């Protein structure tokens, strides 16, 4: 039956067809001619077809043999691909890497990095999942993702710090508060504020900053897409509060870092993984390459003139290479 056929028999078949005879094919396969003849006979029996016309001088493919030859070559190619994949999996140079992050992080941090990682690790199937930062970290904890790129909130995860991001106020051109290089949050108390809804890290940071100094901002608009907030600010509808990781069109607007009592409002971005679970070796490459790329360039780098954002320090966590 066809399901009894193995690749060893198909190699014998294609070798005889390619070389036009059993003697040359046996030599190419490094087996004896009788052994090769037995393989062809076994294949013909399994398929229930005659594959060759044999005469005293030559061997020719039958019509059925000609039809099957192309398909046999395809099967051999696929078989070799499977073997190569299995070898790469065993060596840790291939497999699936699942990484989660929020949409803005996906666009400005991870997406520009994909081509470089795929060039370095071509055998790895990088699967990106668009998830909110805290939810992505919970998925890492449960083993549904290998890593998350987010501001650290789940303390049980190991992490590698990448870069700081800042809270920005985006003003329409000509706004009186847009004349400086930074803006204190207290000056936004009488401004119509355009912000992300509750549940976003940016909104939580803004609300906490307002609460700390005892002000209640006027929230004119909430939108889950930060680009929408910027567009509304461009139209003069209010002051958009967005993170510095956002890739934005700065036409007709000016973005300033928000301070509270002289301190920058912001957090650090990190890549986090679960050290309690066995991790594929190519995750180390991903972490190292992403950290290296972030040191050279990252969204919001132009606001480094503002007061520094101190990295988080949590007992039991390391910030360096540690996978």
Could you read off the pLDDT of 112-128 as tens digits, one per residue? 989 988 888 888 889 99
pLDDT for the residue numbered 280: 82
Tokens of 46: 């399994």
3-state secondary structure of 52: strand
**Residue 272 vs residues 137, 142, 146, 200, 293: alpha-carbon distances, Å:** 7, 13, 9, 18, 16
- What average pLDDT score do residues 148-171 get? 94
> pLDDT grade, residue 59 (50/70/90)?
confident
Contact, 97 vs 146, CB < 8 A? yes
- Per-residue pLDDT band for 93 (boundaries 50, 70, 90) equals low
pLDDT value of position 87? 57
Residue owning tokens 């059993």: 22
**pLDDT tens track for 8-25:** 888 888 888 888 888 888
Q: What is the pTM of this model?
A: 0.69
Distance from C-alpha of 269 to C-alpha of 266, rounded to nearest angstrom: 10
- Across 280-286, average pLDDT: 87
SS3 (DSSP) at 317: coil
């Amino acid at each position: 039956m066809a399901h009894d056929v193995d690749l060893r028999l198909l190699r014998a078949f294609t070798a005889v067809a390619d070389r036009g005879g059993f003697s040359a094919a046996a030599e190419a396969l490094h087996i004896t001619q009788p052994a090769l003849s037995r393989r062809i006979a076994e294949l013909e029996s399994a398929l229930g077809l005659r594959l060759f016309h044999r005469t005293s001088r030559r061997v020719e493919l039958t019509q059925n043999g000609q039809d099957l030859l192309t398909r046999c070559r395809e099967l051999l190619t696929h078989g070799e691909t499977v073997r190569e994949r299995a070898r790469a999996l065993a060596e840790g140079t291939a497999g699936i890497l699942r990484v989660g992050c929020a949409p803005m992080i996906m666009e400005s941090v991870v997406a520009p990095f994909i081509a470089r990682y795929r060039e370095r690790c071509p055998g790895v199937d990088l699967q990106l999942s668009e998830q909110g930062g805290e939810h992505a970290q919970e998925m890492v904890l449960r083993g549904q993702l290998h890593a998350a790129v987010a501001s650290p909130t789940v303390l049980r995860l190991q992490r590698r710090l990448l870069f700081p991001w800042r809270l920005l106020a985006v003003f329409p051109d000509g706004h009186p508060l847009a004349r400086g290089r930074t803006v204190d949050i207290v000056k936004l108390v009488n401004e119509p504020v355009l912000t992300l809804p509750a549940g976003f890290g940016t909104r939580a940071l803004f609300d906490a900053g307002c609460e700390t100094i005892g002000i209640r901002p006027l929230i004119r608009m909430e939108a889950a897409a930060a680009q929408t907030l910027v567009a509304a600010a461009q139209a003069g509808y209010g002051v958009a509060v967005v993170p510095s990781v956002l890739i934005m069109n700065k036409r007709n607007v000016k973005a300033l870092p928000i301070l509270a009592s002289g301190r920058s409002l912001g957090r650090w971005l990190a890549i986090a993984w679960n050290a309690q679970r066995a991790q594929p070796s190519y995750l180390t490459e991903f972490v190292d390459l992403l950290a290296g790329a972030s040191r050279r360039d990252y969204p919001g780098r132009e606001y480094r003139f503002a007061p520094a954002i101190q990295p988080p320090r949590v007992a039991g966590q390391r910030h360096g290479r540690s996978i």
